[in-house]
Amino acid sequence: MDKIKSLGKTGSLALGLIVGVLMTLSTTFLISRRARRDTSSKSARLHSSEIAVNKIVNGVEGIIGNTPMIKIRSLSEATGCEILAKAEFLNPGGSPKDRVALSMIQMAEEQGLIRPNTGCVIFEGTSGSTGISIAMIARAKGYSAWIVMPDDQAQEKYQLLEKLGAHVEKTRPASIVDENQYVNLARRQASEFNSGEESNADHNSDGVKRRGFFANQFENLSNFQAHCNGTGPEIYKQTDGKINAFVAGAGTGGTIGGVSSYLKPLIPELKAEGSRKRHQVDTVIEGVGLNRLTKNFDLAREFIDDAIKVTDREAVEMARYLVREEGLFIGSSSAMNCVGAVRVARMLGPGHRIVTILCDSGQRHLTKFWNDDYLIKHNILQQQTPPIDVLSGSERNDSSNDLSRIM
């Protein structure tokens, strides 16, 4: 943390923070140590930051990405820093996972793994957002979606998936070593589909082989590339490259990995910070947190510097603060990111610019994160406890370095 404090107000400094959660939520900081890796693949053309809103775009894919950057006035005034948030919840599928789903599907098509309108099925293990994005794009492009999810996520996500026509399979939350963990189950379902064990399902009516494709957002580097080729350049353009900190929670690590690998070579002395949650089951915050090192997170690892902690309660209070002060109705990981942004603003001091991500809307979290009865029942809120000051920067002012513990 000393390193971060010592950054002072140097204008050229860029600092990125990934906010995530450990057992009771924590964040890990990243610092770039080498130049951007070569991501010069075909997917570079997948997401253009030049898409003009006053043009006609081709289908739902045309409105993915190119999201606005919002100045969060109340947090900016309170901290003396400019706190900016990229409104990823405005993607058509409601999260940055639209970029990732499109990138993975396009890459699979380029590699000849799937073909539209031939009965191909896309399988994915997901806490929800990626499944929703895949289901949406699958519909648009002529595929089916088979989504495996832990059974403890907000009900809205299952409902949305069903409305989008996905096959939804719920499984109990489990460790990655468990063969029925949601990612393992999705992988197995895809493999069984391909081995023809699905009854009479191996050919479509034209005699063309139906294929199952396991998207695998955790290990598939099309995820990283979607952010390196899309989100990162958009942030750079929207800020003219003037960024002191980037704050984002890590689920797969695709966002922090891709964005920081794009920004760091362009912004001298760029620093990035972030975290991952160790046990997703221990928190009300959905979409972030890992209990293993994934390929996408591994790419981000070289940027990680330090860690801070964010509690469930801080995220809940931040979400309520932002709706009260800004009319911004955000989901749990977005609220956590904003806690992280305030924390970094307090560490850096006034005069800095911090960018974070608003991943999804509160509408996707009505039954858990935005449900007081649920929060009280799970001891995240107490009926009598006065609200904490979300602007102070920390519920418990714990700036211990968790990096060595989690990496």
Ligand X SMILES: Cc1ncc(COP(=O)(O)O)c(C=O)c1O
130 binds ligand X (CB under 6 A): yes
Q: Which of 47, 86, 97, 264 binds ligand X (CB under 6 A)?
A: 97
Nearer to ligand X, 345 or 359 (CB): 359
Q: Which phi and psi angles does 71 have, rounded to 5°?
A: -85, 125
Smaller CB separation from ligand X, 188 or 295: 295
Contact 213, 121 (CB under 8 A): yes
- Under 8 Å between Cβ of 337 and 355: no
Judged by beta carbon, residue 193 or residue 246, the one nearer ligand X is 246
CA atoms within 13 A on the CB side of 39: 26
CB of 88 to ligand X, least distance (A): 8
| Distance in angstroms (rounded) separating the CA atoms of residues 107 and 125 | 18
Task: Give the residue with the Cβ less far from ligand X, 120 or 183.
Answer: 183
Q: Does 252 bind ligand X (CB under 6 A)?
A: yes
| 247 near ligand X, judged by CB under 6 A | no
Q: Residue 37: what residue type?
A: R
Q: Judging by DSSP bridges, how do beta strands 353-358 and 82-87 pair with one another?
A: parallel
Residue 219 to residue 358: CA distance in whole angstroms: 23
Among 66, 244, 255, 280, binds ligand X (CB under 6 A): 255
Binding-residue total with ligand X (CB under 6 A): 17
Whether 339 and 19 have beta carbons less than 8 Å apart is answered as yes
Q: Is position 318 an interface residue for ligand X (rule: CB under 6 A)? A: no
Q: Which of residues 162-191 bind ligand X (CB under 6 A)?
A: none
Distance in Å, CB of 324 to ligand X, minimum: 22
Which residue's CB is nearer to ligand X, number 193 or number 402?
Answer: 402
Query: According to the binding rule CB under 6 A, does residue 231 interact with ligand X?
Result: no
**Tally of CB atoms within 10 A around 53:** 8
- Point out which span in 78-86, 144-152, 208-216, 245-253 binds ligand X (CB under 6 A): 245-253
In the window 358-397, what residues touch ligand X (CB under 6 A)? 359-360
Structure tokens at 308: 């801070």
Which helix (DSSP H) or strand (DSSP E) does residue 256 occupy?
helix 254-266
Task: List the one residue from 16, 65, 233, 287 that touches ligand X (CB under 6 A).
Answer: 287
- Which residue in this structure is represented by tokens 């001298």? 268
DSSP 3-state of 91 = coil
Residue 401 burial by CB count (10 A; 0-12/13-18/19+): exposed, middle or buried?
A: middle
Q: Is 94 in the site for ligand X (CB under 6 A)?
A: no
Q: Which of 16, 125, 131, 251 binds ligand X (CB under 6 A)?
A: 251
- The Cα–Cα gap between 283 and 293 comes to 19
DSSP result, 341-365: HHHHHHHH-TT-EEEEEE-SBGGGG
Residue 154 makes contact with ligand X by CB under 6 A: no
Q: Which of residues 168, 270, 284, 288 is near ligand X by CB under 6 A?
A: 288
Contact characters 321-360, ligand X, x per CB under 6 A = ----------x-x-------------------------xx
Q: Does 253 bind ligand X (CB under 6 A)?
A: yes
Give me the residues that bind ligand X (CB under 6 A), please. Answer: 95, 97, 129-130, 249-255, 287-288, 331, 333, 359-360
